[in-house]
Each structure stands twice: as structure tokens, then as C-alpha cells.
Amino acid sequence: MRTALSMTSGKDRRTGRAAHPAAQPYLVAALHRELGLPMLVVVPTSQEARQFYEQLLIWCDSQSTILLLPKDGEGQGRDPFHQQQRLKVLARLAGTSIEAQRGARGPIVVASAAAAAARTVSLAEFAASRHEIKQGDQINLMETLSRWSKMGYRREHLVEVPGTMSHRGGILDVFPPNSELPVRIELLGNRAESIRFFDPQTQRSLRTVPPWR
């Protein structure tokens, strides 16, 4: 196992032989299957990170979660897509995303050196920004909207992109940055009657979600 670990970094310490770059994703995938622990793979550039990520998708099984960590603002200024992807990775590592709550195997995170070195909020600050809502909870509407606003959500007429929220009658829509789909909370009075994902294009409700944060 130690040999495999050293080879992923480029050289077998016992023989002095370097692992071929094409073999490194396979070795990382094998280690991940064996250990089941979170792993961080750091490579020099964003292009190499993308290539390594794509190779891991081939070698890893369906139970593995592979994440590509972009540098905030990488490519085209503060690109909302890169911001969303970075938040999703941070949420997964902090154990606050839906996938982590299901007890999934620890993820493999692939990052360029710049992305890995970029400053971000502390784990304590990230965890403090969580807001858990589950079906049946009593919700103070104005307090909830105010709290989401302070967390950085932008109020819109329709929720179509991550980081936005809306309120229409007894419906609260919100798109958490660490979720693939936005969430709709239907209220009966002040009670959360149902919590479901919805399609941001059609605005139609989909499946019920577990407790959302």
C-alpha cells in the first residue's frame, strides 16, 4: 500500500522508478476502493486537474464520489459555475451535503495547486452557515428569508440558479449551492408541509428530499 501511495506521487521509493502518469489515476482509484477515506489529489495546473478527474471517472466504481475543486474566480473572473462547484466540494468535505448525510464513501477531490491553496472560510464558519429544515418544522417566514439573505442568497421572482431564493404565497423556493437541484418548501400556515426538489427549467416539483441544510 505504501508503494502504491508513493507511486501516485511520481516515484516508487523502493526501486526509484516513477509511475507512468497514465497509471496514477488507476492507482488512486485502487487506493480509494481499499481505504474508503477522503483523498485529495493536487496537480500543477487546472488542465491537468481536469484530465486527472476525467480519468478517475473511468477507473472508479459507482460508489465513489469524484469532485473537481476549481479555484474561485478561475477562468472568467468570479464565474458563478466555478463558485457553485467550489461550494459543493467544500460542503461535501464539511459533511453537510445531502450525499454526505447518506453515509457515502469519502470523496476523492482533485485540484490544481492554485485551487488547493486558495483561501476559503474556516470549517467553523462554514458549519455555522447551515440551516436545517425538515418536514413538519414550524417556520417563521420573515426570519427565514432574512437569515437566507444574510447567508448570501439573492431574492428573485423565479429560482433558476444556485444562490437564489423566492417567496410566493405559501411556497419558499431556494437553490443551495451544494445541491444539483433547487428545493421547494410548501407551507401550511407556518408548518413545512412538504420539501421537494424541483426542475429549475419547468418549475415543476419532483421528488421529496431528506432534511435540507
Output the pLDDT for position 18.
Answer: 55
Output the pLDDT for position 2.
Answer: 42
Closest CA to 19 of 39, 34, 3: 3
User: How do the domains of the chain map onto residue ranges?
Assistant: 2-126, 131-208
Instruction: Tell me the pLDDT tens digit for each residue of 77-96.
Output: 456 667 777 877 877 777 65
Output the pLDDT for position 84.
Answer: 72
The three-class DSSP label of residue 207 is strand
CB 8 within 8 A of CB 20: no
Output the pLDDT for position 168.
Answer: 92
Low-confidence ranges of the chain (pLDDT < 70): 1-20, 72-81, 95-104, 210-213
CB 127 within 8 A of CB 96: yes
Output the pLDDT for position 194.
Answer: 92
Output the pLDDT for position 200.
Answer: 92
Output the pLDDT for position 85.
Answer: 77
Output the pLDDT for position 186.
Answer: 94
Output the pLDDT for position 54.
Answer: 93
- Residue 138 has phi, psi (to 5 degrees) of -85, 130
- Please report where in the chains the cell 488542465 appears, as a residue: 47
Output the pLDDT for position 75.
Answer: 46
Output the pLDDT for position 212.
Answer: 52
Q: Decide which of 3.40.50.11180, 3.20.20.70, 3.30.1330.10, 1.20.1250.20 is the CATH code for 2-126.
A: 3.40.50.11180
Output the pLDDT for position 184.
Answer: 95
Q: Decide which of 3.30.830.10, 3.30.70.270, 3.40.50.450, 3.30.2060.10 is the CATH code for 131-208.
A: 3.30.2060.10
| AA identity, residue 34 | E
